[in-house]
Structures are given as C-alpha cells and as structure tokens.
C-alpha cells in the first residue's frame, strides 16, 4: 500500500517537528515548511529519512499566498496525493497591552496565523475532498488556549488569531463533513517551545507551570500525540472538535 502523505506547516521545530517524528514512525511520507532556519530543517529531514520516509522540506512563508501555492504543487510533484494537513505555522510578537499595539502588528499576526492557515486549508480541501475528485483526508489546525483566556497584557492579537482558527475549524468541518475530509483542532496550553522567546519571555512556561492544575508546562510531543490521534483512523467519527492539551488549564 502507498504510504500516506502529510504536510506540516512550520514543521522544522517545536510542535511541528515533534509531529513530523511521530508521523515518520507511523509510516507517513512527510513534507514540512520552514521559514528561515535552513540548517534546522535539513537536520530534521535527514533524521526523518532514517525511518524510511520520503521527506521534502520546503522553505516558505505561509503569509504569502504564492508561497502556499508553491508548497502544495511541490508536494503534488514530489510526493503525490496529500492525505493530511497540519496547520501549525504561526507567529507571536512582543508581549504588550493592546493599547500599545500597532495596526501593522495586527496585520502581520493575522495574515500569518489566520490567512495562512485558511489558504493552506483551502488547497488541502481542493486535493482531498471527494467533491473535487479527491480520496478524503484529515486536517488538524493548531490553536492555543490563548483563544479562551484572551491573552490580556501579553498578546491579545495572537489570542484573537487563534479564536479565528477555532471558528474556521468548526465551520470548515461542517462544510465538508460529507466529502471525506475531517477537520479538527488542538488547543495547546503553555508548551516548551521557542515561541515564548518571540514574545520576550523565554522562561514563560516555567513561570506559568506551577499555576496549571497538572503542575507543569507541556512538551511538544504531548501536543503532537493529540494531533496524530486526530489524523488517525481511530478518530474516524471525530470532526469539528477542539481538543485542549493544556494540563487542565
């Protein structure tokens, strides 16, 4: 049987890389996007190929529609028919109050986190949906507990962008439920990734960890496990669902 094909945006590190490792171990061929860190992407690709997977790293900015289109045509050409999409790429900017944020910042965050995910989902549906001649598949979007909490005094813009991801998950899942494509969402709490440094507080998870009911921050692999479950046949009757991976927060 042909190996399933997964595309992971923002897949060279953090939750994306952890997802790629599990996917490779489960027999997927893998494409992943990365923005800048060529060495990191190359190292991960080399690691993944040792499992027998075909691996295609693609440098791209999901905020640019032309880049997204190039990513999908590359996957078509190099790997074949897409089976799964993980909308993981996202950005976080410096912690501050809303009344200090510029409109340009809002545009940057929403373009990457919302529009980028929407365009990737659109291209995946055009390939997976039986309405378009596809064979079905699954999409998992990465949100954040910030969408529930609101991001006050830190990043309301990021929280709002993830609220949009929650809404898109629900709407798209219902729109294509009869077309062989399931759409779900994972909403992580504080996870030990480099994104917190982008917000200006690399140790944020250590600060917040003791206040989480489970008593600690999460690891990328714990989020990736939930992502891969939702992509699997074990979740065949699950769509339009948001799974919190947040330690009870």
Catalytic site positions = 158
What is the spatial distance between Cα 198 and Cα 204, in angstroms, rounded to a whole number?
11
Token pair for residue 247? 């330690």
Query: Could you tell me where the DSSP H helices lie in 34-102?
Result: 38-49, 65-78
CB of 209 within 8 A of CB of 216?
Answer: yes
Decide: helix, strand or coil at residue 226: helix
Measured over the CA atoms of residue 106, residue 116, residue 219 and residue 181, the dihedral's sign is positive
What are φ and ψ of residue 151, in 5° steps? 70, 25
What is the spatial distance between Cα 112 and Cα 169, in angstroms, rounded to a whole number?
16
Token pair for residue 77? 């050409």
What is the spatial distance between Cα 132 and Cα 122, in angstroms, rounded to a whole number?
12
Query: Strand pairing partners for 187?
Result: 244
Q: Other CB atoms closer than 10 Å to residue 219's CB: what's the count?
A: 15
Contacts of 17 (CB under 8 A, 6+ apart): 11, 32, 44, 220
């Amino acid at each position: 049987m042909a190996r399933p094909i997964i595309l992971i945006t923002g897949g060279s590190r953090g939750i994306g890389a952890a997802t790629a490792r599990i996917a490779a171990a489960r027999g997927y061929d893998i494409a992943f996007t990365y923005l800048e860190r060529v060495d990191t992407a190359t190292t991960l690709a080399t690691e993944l190929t040792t499992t027998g997977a075909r691996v295609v790293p693609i440098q791209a900015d999901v905020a640019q529609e032309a880049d997204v289109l190039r990513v999908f045509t590359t996957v078509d050409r190099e790997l074949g028919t897409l089976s799964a999409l993980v909308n993981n790429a996202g950005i976080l900017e410096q912690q501050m109050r809303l009344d200090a944020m510029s409109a340009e910042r809002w545009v940057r965050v929403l373009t990457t986190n919302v529009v980028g995910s929407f365009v990737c989902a659109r291209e995946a549906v055009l390939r997976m949906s039986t309405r378009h001649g596809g064979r079905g598949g699954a999409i998992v979007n990465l949100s954040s507990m910030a969408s529930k909490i609101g991001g006050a005094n830190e990043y309301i813009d990021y929280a709002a962008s993830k609220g949009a991801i929650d809404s898109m998950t629900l709407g798209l899942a219902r729109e294509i439920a009869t077309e062989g494509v399931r759409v779900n969402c994972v909403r992580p709490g504080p996870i030990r990734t480099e994104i917190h440094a982008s917000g200006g507080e690399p140790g944020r998870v250590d600060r917040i960890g003791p206040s989480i009911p489970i008593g600690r921050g999460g690891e990328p692999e714990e989020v990736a496990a939930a992502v891969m479950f939702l992509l699997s046949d074990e979740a065949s009757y699950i769509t339009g669902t948001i799974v919190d991976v947040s330690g009870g927060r």
